[in-house]
Structure 1
Amino acid sequence: MTSPTGQVAHVAGFPIKQVAMVVRDLDQAVRAYWNRLGVGPWTSYVLEPPRLKDMTYHGEPVEFAIRHALAWSGETQLELVQPLYGPSIFSDHLDVCGEGQHHLGIFVDDHPAAMQSLTDSGFRYVQGARGFGAEGDGAFAYFETDEPVGTIIEVIEAPKVRIPPDFVYPAEPGGNP
């Protein structure tokens, strides 16, 4: 993200590349973002065990599942997240705040080092997992911030190869519905 002065916005030294919203109905949200804002195409995935490993929520091992969809708007990735089951910061957000903006994401090459950097900067680790890539790689971790920022930061180590999507919307010619 670039500011009006041309500077790139950063979190703990990493550029913000993702803005994510929590939704109750992913299918409805994907259609709305496409039809009302022209954002898309959306590529959707279900992330759950056994693919996801080392899942934690507030320091405790848990199992959770989400459906999410990704689309690009310029250089910013938008993400829509629908919690499916298990304890999660996404379900918490829906219960307390309803649908809406949830977190900002940064992409990193060294996930453990980036997590340590945020921890050293005073951010609190609240949820994470690994293994969402086709080769069992890929990791994500969420960190809480204090006021006045009051948002969650996601540290993302993208997988080398993604799993096949559950759907693409709008559908690619000859592709998924």
Structure 2
Amino acid sequence: MGKFVKNISEYVAFIGLGGLIILSIVILVDIIGRELLGMPIPGFSDITGEFIIITAAACFPASFADRSHVSVRFVGQIVHWRVREALDLLGNVATLVILLIIVVQLVEYSEQVWVNKETTWLIALPIWPVWWTVTALLAISSIIQALMTYFQVKRLFSPVKLSDLDAIESDSATVQSYEE
């Protein structure tokens, strides 16, 4: 199941990569149009703003699967390994709860944007596709975080002492340790 989580998070990260590539192309076209032809892209900030939101949201699943968010680890290094795993579980549960609250709020906001037919300021692009996409990406993130929380529960109740995940160097070792 660890490989499944890793694969899904990487596929979603490709959406973010695609957004960055599109954003780079739009910026390049705008610079060329502005500097060489005297014709900037109308609504440049509207277009880039929409892509940045989706690109950022697409990075969350991979960061949850890779455990690459900021964490304070000094206490876990000096206590018993089960206490360390319990603290990690607490952090995973808190992250999951906050993420679920954000997803619920995004659903409500996306519904309002849809109903009110809101658009960007300059070129009147509808913004509902962006917010529903972000909502879907963060819903995927919450599923991945729920699985990571499940893996952490398994680690907490492991019958043998486990090494600290942050001390493991390779990604395959991380996925392997989750599957144990």
Query: Which category of TM-score, normalised to the shorter sequence, fits these structures?
Result: under 0.3
User: Which one scores higher on RCO, CA 8 angstroms, separation ≥ 6?
Assistant: 2
TM-score, with structure 2 as normaliser: 0.23
